[in-house]
Amino acid sequence: MRHPATPATRRTALTLFGAALAATPFLKPVAATASERAIGLDDPAKKEIAMQLVSSAENSSLDWKAQYQYIEDIRDGRGYTAGIIGFCSGTGDMLDLVELYTARRPGNVLAKYLPALREVNGSDSHAGLDPGFPGDWRRAARDAAFQRAQDDERDRVYFGPAVRQGKADGLRVLGQFAYYDAIVMHGDGSDPLSFRNIRRRALRTAKPPAQGGDEVTYLDAFLDARVWAMKQEEAHSDTSRVDTAQRVFLRRRNLDLNPPLDWRVYGDSYHIG
């Protein structure tokens, strides 16, 4: 899971934009047809939107497929961050990914790093990885099998669980995406700041539709809980991926994430037509 450092120079623009957003009244809900309500974030068109939204926050680009080769240490205490969803050498998901890739493609260029990845798991260490690992990651990213492995691990660990929980809570596409983005950043373990504990915090003040609650009220509570969790860590202290993105869609009552979509992350503007 990637935890990107946020450029401080962007915060002034965000403050002004956020103030204007806060003064904007809620719009009336837009009625959805039965077919729209049946569509989830796992619909191919909606999933593509989700990938672009996350990429705008993680990589400052809508071209999420260009991120298979991405790798750097963003100095957040989790070692190397890489790939389409920010797999980290210090959090175990990168190790799982390389193990999957090696099971499918024995002798691949990353296989020799498995002992080192097991050793550095849980730390920010590069021991056994430097100097060759970043270059070999980029070489592996040209292999379609490695790209498929990244897709599959993203879906298994992050996307699938988020969509399943969102549907169980009676949430439409935006709510499912809010869950997905939270799992990408915070993971879904027992950590107090994990997705499941963010959700529990939200449930203290609002009920999701599956429990008889109002969807907009619940999503507001969930995003409040998400912002609280983000502010507990300096690496997450810029909350624009919620404030000037997800809340924009919520205030517009775009619960199905229907284009056109306009939002900002870290002061940069994005559009999906």
Which residues are annotated as catalytic? Answer: 58, 76
Contact 115, 32 (CB under 8 A): no
Name the E strands within the chain. Answer: 71-73, 80-82, 87-88, 261-265, 268-272
In angstroms, the CA 48 to CA 135 distance is 28
**Closest among 105, 106, 80 to 93, alpha carbons compared:** 80
Contact 261, 56 (CB under 8 A): no
Contact 71, 135 (CB under 8 A): no
- Helix, strand, coil proportions of the chain in percent (round to 5)? 55, 5, 35
